[in-house]
Amino acid sequence: MKEKITPCLWFNGQAGDAAAMYCAAFKRSRITAQSPIVTAVEIAGQSLTLLDGGPMYEPNASISFYVGCESVEEFDQAWKALSEGGKVVSAPSKSPWSEKYGWITDAFNVSWQLGVQKKADIKQKITPYLLFTGKQYGHAADAMRYYEEVFRSKPAEGVVRYGSEDAPERAGNVRHAEIELKNYQFMISEVMSAEVPFTEGVSLTVHCENQEEVDYYWNKLTEGGKESMCGWLKDRFGVSWQIIPTMLSKLMSDPAKAGKAAKAFMTMRKLDIEQLVQASIA
């Protein structure tokens, strides 16, 4: 696992179909693993986890994915594939920041923002875009400072704020910002007119090398937040995270240990590596 943070998308029995769509949409993409519950996709070297978790949750626009396209042809290929059964949020057009830009929600309710950029300007091919709306509107700056502290990262870059000419009540709030957490890029914005709450439909998985890292991120991200089961939690802003030890994937890929390990972690909130290991060999 080269990436320390990877997005996880929640589906209801459609992860395989979604993976096929994304492989058709994006160049240099492939399915790297597939099971009855989890499908892993790699797009331009970046990992996405597609989880068939059932009907409880689904993705929404609170976390969309910005894709930097190197050409109009690449944009058009992705747009065509994602349009099948999807809904256009913003039709493709020229924008101040892109030769061609559009926003679409695909057939599985995953939101994508596509923009044509110069190759040198694309820091990361696919970038999660966190949108602070509703009761979280006005808290984007607080969230950025919080994530910078938790992940020990440098301050956000390119912070653009609303001015008084936009609306006095919005002045100073975050129109757009970019933040890097553990060498992984995120975009952040807040919009007053929308109300799209963060949900488990899109979560962010932090891959931890040892129990010390698991404990650290669990304790930090649950401050003011809420614990859930199986390594899941919600932070104080409602964003869902999974704090997962990297050794878990090795256990789950071993037919002799997977069942016992799964039975053990299903009873846990914060995951305990030693307990998982002992359960798998019992």
Residues 58-103 have pLDDT tens digits of 999 999 999 999 999 999 999 999 999 999 999 999 998 899 999 9
pLDDT tens readout for residues 248-258: 988 888 888 88
Same fold, 5-190 and 209-281: yes
C-alpha 103/C-alpha 89 separation (Å) is 5
Yes or no: is domain 209-281 CATH 3.10.180.10?
Answer: yes
Q: Are 154 and 148 in contact (CB under 8 A)?
A: yes
How do beta strands 63-69 and 111-116 pair?
parallel
For the cut 60, the answer to whether the pLDDT of residue 1 exceeds it is no
Q: What is the pLDDT of residue 250?
A: 85
Q: Which residues contact 32 (CB under 8 A, 6 or more apart)?
A: 40, 41, 42, 47
In the Cβ-directed half-sphere of 52, how many Cα atoms lie within 13 Å?
14
Which CATH homologous superfamily contains domain 5-190? Answer: 2,3-Dihydroxybiphenyl 1,2-Dioxygenase, domain 1 (3.10.180.10)
Q: How confident is the model at residue 166 (pLDDT cuts 50, 70, 90)?
A: low
Per the rule left: phi > 0, alpha: psi between -120 and 50, beta: everything else, 182 is: left
Residue type, 273: I
pLDDT of amino acid 222? 98
Residue 36 banded pLDDT, cuts 50, 70, 90? confident
Question: Residue 189 above 90 pLDDT?
Answer: yes
Q: Does the pTM of the predicted model rise above 0.75?
A: yes
Segment 11-37 shows an average pLDDT of: 95
Domain ranges in the chain?
5-190, 209-281
